[in-house]
Amino acid sequence: MASSEPSAIVELRQVTRIFRQGGAEVAALRGVTLRVLAGEFTALCGPSGSGKTTTLNLIGALDKPTSGLVLLEGHDLTTLSRRALARLRRDRIGFVFQSYNLIPVLTAYENAEIVLALQGVEAAVRRRRVLELLDAVGLAGLESRRPDELSGGQQQRVAIARAIAANPAVVLADEPTANVDSETSEMLLAIMQRLNRERGVTFIFSTHDPRVMQHARRIVHLVDGAVSSEERHE
C-alpha cells in the first residue's frame, strides 16, 4: 500500500559528522534525523557548537556526512559527483550567509543576477526577475550600488534576492541576522517570511537568538549534535 506521507524537500537519516582535531575525534552531529517539507519556515536552534552550521553545510552539499544519508528532493547527496554537487548547489539551493558573501566589485544588481548568469538565463529574463526581486526586498533604486555603498542590512537583502533568484528548492540561511541590529533583524525576517508566504520559498535557517526563533513556524532544537526537541507554531 502506498504511503500517504508527503515527500520531503530535505531529509537527513541518522546522520553523523565526525571531525578530527589534533588527533582526537569530535562528533559534530550524532544520528540526526530530520525531514523538511516544501514551504516550511524552519529554524535550527541551539547554542554555539550544537551542530546548526554543520547541519546546514550537509544540506547545502558543502560537506559530506561521516555516516547516514542526506537527501535533497529525493536525491542522495552522498552519492553524487563533485560536478553534480556543484550543479545542484547552483540550481536547487540558495545560500544566505551571516557575512553576506557578496562580490565587492559587483553592483547589487550584478550580485543578485550572478546565479542566473551562470545558468545561462536570457539577459532580458534575468533583468526582469532581478529587478522584481530587488524591489521585493526593498532595494529598488539601489541596483547600481556596490556592497561598500550599502548598509549591512541592505547587503543581506541583496544576498536574499540572490538566494531566491533561481527559484531554488530550499534557501539555507546561517545566522542571517547575526551582524545587524535588532530593527534590521526584524526587517530581514519579515522579508523572508513574506517570501515564504507569498512565493512558497522553503527556508531553513540557524539561530541562537530567541527573538529570531519567535518568527519560525517550526523550531528544531539541537544540543551537542543531536535533535533534542521540536515545536511548531502557526
| Strand 10-21 with 24-36, pairing | antiparallel
Number of CB atoms found within 10 A of residue 26's CB:
12
What is the per-residue pLDDT across 40-86, written as a single tens digit (0 to 9) for each? Answer: 999 999 988 899 999 999 999 999 999 999 999 999 999 999 999 99
What is the pLDDT averaged over residues 30-49?
Answer: 94
Per-residue pLDDT of 78-113, as tens digits, reads 999 999 999 999 999 999 988 889 999 999 999 999
Which pLDDT tens digit goes with each residue over 142-181? 999 999 999 999 999 999 999 999 999 999 999 888 888 8
pLDDT at 5: 62
Q: Which domains does the chain have, with CATH numbers?
A: 38-63+82-232 (3.40.50.300)
Given a cut of 70, whether residue 2 has pLDDT beyond it is no
- Answer yes or no: is pLDDT of 1 > 60: no
Cα separation, 188 vs 123, whole angstroms? 28
Q: What is the pLDDT of residues 172-188, one digit of tens each?
A: 999 888 888 888 888 88
Assigned C-alpha cell, 89: 548547489
173: which 3 cell numbers? 540561511
Region 205-219 average pLDDT: 88
Predicted confidence band of residue 22 (pLDDT cuts 50, 70, 90): confident
- Burial zone of 48 (CB within 10 Å; 0-12 exposed, 13-18 middle, 19+ buried): exposed
Look at residue 233 and tell me whether its pLDDT is greater than 90: no
- pLDDT at residue 38, rounded to an integer: 93
Q: What is the pLDDT of residue 151?
A: 93
